[in-house]
Structure 1
Amino acid sequence: MLSLLQAAGLTAVLWAVWKFGLRHYLRPSSLDNVPGPKPESWIFGSLNTFFSRHSRPFHESIWRNYSGVAKLQTFLGRPMLYVWDPKAMHSIVIKDQYTYEETDVFINFNHMVFGPSLLSSLGNEHRRQRKMLNPVFHINHMRYMCQTFYKVTHKLRGAINKQVLDGPKEIDLMQWFTRTALELLGQGGLGHSFDSLEDDTENTFTEDLKTLIPNFRPFLLVSRFLPIYKLNHIGTPAFRRWVVESIPSQRIKRCLQIMDRLDGVSRDILARKKAALAAGDEALLQSMGEGKDIMSVLLKANTQASEDERMPDDEFLGHMCSLMFAAMDTTSGALARIIHLLAQHPDVQEKLRAEIVEARRGDGDIDYDQLVTLPYLEAVCRESLRLHSPATTMSRQTREDVVMPLSQPIRGKDGTMMHEITVPKGTIVAVGILASNCNEALWGPDAMEWKPERWLKPLPQAVLDAHIPGVYSNLMTFLGGGRACIGFKFSQMEMKIVLSVLLETFKFSPSNKDIYWHLGGLQSPAIGREGAKAQMPLIVERISP
């Protein structure tokens, strides 16, 4: 019996080596001629380095040594394309976007953790959901939420103000920005308050959301190139839950704990929103968000939708969970980066503060239409989101063979010039968000420098001629096409309101702590290169009541 089991095990191992590795070396591929860096490991290729928290030097070396596209070897030799050529990106996110779909790992992970939502749907289902959600992210609806955002931000200002009443103090602003981003999303998006923002105590729900991806990361990396996700379709949900609970891993148990809490909070919010909607307009006005939050508007529209377009409860729950997760870390990270940059460049901070003070003048807040047109505030935000986009890459997977056009030919490994690349079905393609934003061939030799003033004059002609397919300011920060970030205007308004309120009241300066920004999936600050916890201590000084 033992020998049979050993033989079966050996057969399984040999099959896996052939299926996911050896055949990529022995079979010719249309990607064989694409240049790229030498893999660091036969087993993992460049996978660990590419997705490492310390991967920025590796990414920058690829930008310097290759032109628009490079091939990386990953798990057991499987090829992955790293792409920042403008014409190729246009093909990926717009022209052939339904060929370059989200990866199976991404779709299945989001469906498992959040349920059916924009993050876990494809094709017609994704288009249906987006059509339903688009109106609540329209600019007209943003105006309604402006006062809610100011109310939350005033609480943040009050909390920070308490800490600096006796003079300048070192404060971990990352913790405050994460809590504030969740509360802004809570009140503006869900009509729910997660955090009073009254004291310096860490919010446990915020911490749960922040640790979800770090706990899942090892499984996500392996799943990119081994079909572990297919186990998600075996048996009933109860059976799969039992299997997962039986795995002796504290990391997995922690993931389940976070998912359960996220589901419980979402169900509670949805039940209360539906009850308020059923009670009539007066009840909605008395609820958090006064019935103008995203979920209240969406629930109301859902009752008027046709039967085939109406969202079931599990879809609402999926959208709520994914909103909480996706909107918190990206916005808080971007906001923290801007404040850190302003602390390092006091001249820019002072110039921006003067613009904000001049715009406000009276006792009231700057209204939405004026806030979004402040030129220097816009320049600071754009430059920060260009050079330090929160998400640095976005993966896609080809659903069939496809020809990827190039704006500039590349020299193949055999010396021939390649004007296009035939990409086989099943290939993972990493869209280089940061690589495109920092492309010196387009932005000029100072592309790696933070210069807000570049946005106060005409952009380089090369940028305009490239027709970068992003939805925002010739940048790929919020992607483009049918899977562009649906809430990018929501995020911009959050950042601008927080900046306008805080800069008028406080001055930010560097502390004596070494703040290191990890790359990984999303950029985040820590104390020192090996720091594990997201932290950004700065000196905060009150400059006005």
Structure 2
Amino acid sequence: MDPAWLICSVVGFCTFFYLWRKRRFSLFKSMGVPGPEPNLFSGNMKEFVTRGAAACYTEWTKKYGDILGFYNGSVPFLVIKDVELLKRIQIKDFGNFQERGALSVFSNYHSTSRDSIFHTDAQRWRELRSMLTPTFTSGKMKQMVGLLKSCTDEFLEALGRKDGKAFNIYDDFQRLTMDVIVRAAFGIQMDFQKGDENTFQAKLLETAKETVKPSIIPGIRIVMNCFSELGILWRIFLHLFGWAFKEHLEELIDNVESIIQFRRANPEAQRADLLQLMLDASVDSEETVDVNKLAANYEVDSAGAEEAKGTVRKKRTLSNREIRANSTSFLIAGFETTSTALVFTTYLLAKHQDVQDKLRREVLEARTKEGDFTYDAIFGMKYLEQVFCESFRFYPPVVGFATRTASSDYSHKGVRIPAGVGVVVPTYDLHHDPKYWTDPEVFDPERFAPEKKAGIEPLVFQPFGSGPRNCVGMRFALLEAKLTVAKMLANYRIYLDESHHKRSLEYGSTTILALPKGGVWVRVEKIS
């Protein structure tokens, strides 16, 4: 081979690559949008993955303001903390922002992920959401209380074995939430809370934990995000070689197909769980759906509904594949987010003993009045609601999943969002912005007292997102978390282990989820 030709080829390729990537990463500069400087290979992904979303968004919003741009690989994202603009994007002009932001290009193309409500396209999302939303109504959630009580009873037994000892309660909450979601979403009963590290259940639990750790993102995922513009090639690649990149938890997922088939063939074998509710929801008739009513709390999020209306004709059922995909999504989403919400709330209760004592009094009064922790008793406790709202504000469990993508070019008051550009809400920074919160670094459940809560701008408090694409499983998550805390406080006093918490808890995060660095170490004392 002629050396001169080889040198010219290399120089030509390098020049092409440089100009191509330079152009790719010039979008925000051409728009006049400030933001961190990207590198030509991975954009801002290295910092985003290694430091976590919460730390990045906090630093960037302080440095660049309420609207800034960054690149998750080569995927352009606008971080928007401007509340008026968020109201347009998430609610009033939702019709142009129905797609989820591409935080993971791999998940958008992988066969299992793309069938789930979290990653599917706008049209299929409408169909799935319209069928899944009725699954999480208060009436359906009342059917789940028995299952949740069984799991929380085992959790209390686990706490009893540690009475007086210092332990990391984060591990116990993860076992509890995995137990709940596997029983609910897959219809499988496993002994996750037994604590045996050598079982299949323990290995499955560790696998689930790995799915949310940024340090173990497989190389193919990183490459796909860094070169997201090669979408057609990635689709072909995963179609041909997807078998080599199976999602985590495949061993569990493979068992679901037989359970689905068994329940379809044996209606008498029905159980009160999410899997059964999805099977029931899969039989539907043709009707018109208002997208505003797809929000889990649409009564609250219907502000500007007249400007956001949209309908879809549907006449089909949930396929077995879609049930499998959404069961898996509920597992991954419900396991980590709920355990994190519980551990942050427990830390705050243990740190603020006056709040813990006041909440315990309400819990015991409710149990005495109702005779048990019924659904109505759980959601009738006002101070319990205040504590969780303030915990979600102070330590939001999800920091980077309230994302949307513009389907066509959009502009509002001089702010331009080109088609294909993602938008992400910096939840932690909204929740701690002194423009909207008095003394935001103070934990104060009274700020959510009924007479004060109505004065809070809804868009500045969104632990579950906002608008029609908010968290579909919000009611289930709240039921599980509130029941767990109520039963825990009715039976135990919780104290921080001072040897592990000489300083305030360090709030960390992955690219999507928050986490307590070092865990939360407590001691429990049985109430006689």
Cα distance in 1 for partners of 2:281, 2:471 equals 22
C-alpha contact (below 8 Å) 1:31/1:423 kept by paired residues: no
Residue 163 of structure 1 corresponds to 162
CA shift digits 1:283-339 (9 cap, x unpaired): 32xxxxxx2212112213424557941122211111111111111111111111100
Cα distance in 2 for partners of 1:104, 1:83 equals 16
C-alpha contact (below 8 Å) 1:443/1:460 kept by paired residues: no
Give, in angstroms, the shift of residue 422 of structure 1: 1.4
1:348 aligns with 2:328: no
Residue 278 of structure 1 corresponds to 265
Q: How does 1:59-138 map to 2 (within 5 A)?
A: 59-64=57-62, 67-72=65-70, 80-100=77-97, 101-104=99-102, 106=104, 108-112=106-110, 113-138=112-137
Residue 292 of structure 2 corresponds to none
Aligned-partner SS, 2:104: helix
Q: Structure 2 residue aligned with 1:193, among 189, 193, 196?
A: 189
Aligned residues: 486
Residue 407 of structure 2 corresponds to 399
1:326 aligns with 2:333: yes
Q: Structure 1 residue aligned with 2:236, among 234, 237, 246?
A: 234
Q: How does 1:293-304 map to 2 (within 5 A)?
A: 293-303=273-283
Residue 543 of structure 1 corresponds to 527
C-alpha contact (below 8 Å) 1:98/1:123 kept by paired residues: no
Letter of the aligned partner of 2:525 in structure 1? E
CA shift digits 1:406-444 (9 cap, x unpaired): xxxxxxxxxxxxx43112233332222222222221223
1:516 aligns with 2:506: yes
C-alpha contact (below 8 Å) 2:281/2:318 kept by paired residues: no
Cα distance in 1 for partners of 2:231, 2:251 equals 24
Cα distance in 2 for partners of 1:205, 1:342 equals 30
Structure 1 stretches of 5 or more lacking a match?
A: 246-254, 285-290, 406-418, 469-473, 528-534
Cα distance in 1 for partners of 2:463, 2:10 equals 45
1:379 aligns with 2:347: no
Residue 493 of structure 2 corresponds to 507
C-alpha contact (below 8 Å) 1:352/1:376 kept by paired residues: yes
C-alpha contact (below 8 Å) 1:380/1:452 kept by paired residues: yes
Residue 516 of structure 2 corresponds to 525
Aligned-partner SS, 2:68: strand
TM-score by length of 2: 0.82
C-alpha contact (below 8 Å) 1:179/1:195 kept by paired residues: no
Give, in angstroms, the shift of residue 68 of structure 1: 2.8
C-alpha contact (below 8 Å) 2:115/2:326 kept by paired residues: yes
1:438 aligns with 2:432: yes
Give, in angstroms, the shift of residue 175 of structure 1: 1.3
Q: Which segment is superposed worse, 493-502 or 312-321?
A: 312-321
C-alpha contact (below 8 Å) 2:135/2:281 kept by paired residues: no
Cα distance in 2 for partners of 1:10, 1:310 equals 55
TM-score by length of 1: 0.80
Letter of the aligned partner of 1:396 in structure 2? R
Residue 304 of structure 2 corresponds to none
Cα distance in 2 for partners of 1:105, 1:61 equals 20
Give, in angstroms, the shift of residue 219 of structure 1: 5.3
C-alpha contact (below 8 Å) 1:270/1:317 kept by paired residues: yes
Letter of the aligned partner of 2:471 in structure 1? C
Q: For residues 2 and 362 of structure 1, do their structure 2 counterparts lie closer, same or farther at Cα, with a shift above 3 Å needed? A: farther
1:179 aligns with 2:180: no
Cα distance in 1 for partners of 2:434, 2:376 equals 34
Cα distance in 2 for partners of 1:519, 1:207 equals 18
Give, in angstroms, the shift of residue 278 of structure 1: 1.5
Cα distance in 1 for partners of 2:279, 2:94 equals 30
1:463 aligns with 2:462: no
Q: For residues 298 and 75 of structure 1, do their structure 2 counterparts lie closer, same or farther at Cα, with a shift above 3 Å needed? A: closer
Residue 493 of structure 1 corresponds to 479
C-alpha contact (below 8 Å) 2:37/2:44 kept by paired residues: yes
Q: For residues 196 and 218 of structure 1, do their structure 2 counterparts lie closer, same or farther at Cα, with a shift above 3 Å needed? A: closer
C-alpha contact (below 8 Å) 1:30/1:424 kept by paired residues: no
C-alpha contact (below 8 Å) 1:54/1:518 kept by paired residues: yes
Letter of the aligned partner of 1:17 in structure 2? Y
Cα distance in 1 for partners of 2:92, 2:206 equals 39
Q: How does 1:403-442 map to 2 (within 5 A)?
A: 403=411, 405=412, 419-442=413-436
- What RMSD over aligned residues (CA atoms) do the two structures have, in Å? 3.1
Letter of the aligned partner of 1:148 in structure 2? L
Structure 2 stretches of 5 or more lacking a match?
A: 287-313
Residue 307 of structure 2 corresponds to none
Cα distance in 2 for partners of 1:348, 1:305 equals 49
Cα distance in 2 for partners of 1:122, 1:98 equals 13
C-alpha contact (below 8 Å) 2:340/2:515 kept by paired residues: yes
Give, in angstroms, the shift of residue 70 of structure 1: 2.8
Amino-acid identity (%) = 22
Aligned-partner SS, 1:181: helix
Cα distance in 1 for partners of 2:486, 2:453 equals 29
Cα distance in 2 for partners of 1:391, 1:83 equals 16
Aligned-partner SS, 2:194: coil
C-alpha contact (below 8 Å) 2:73/2:222 kept by paired residues: no
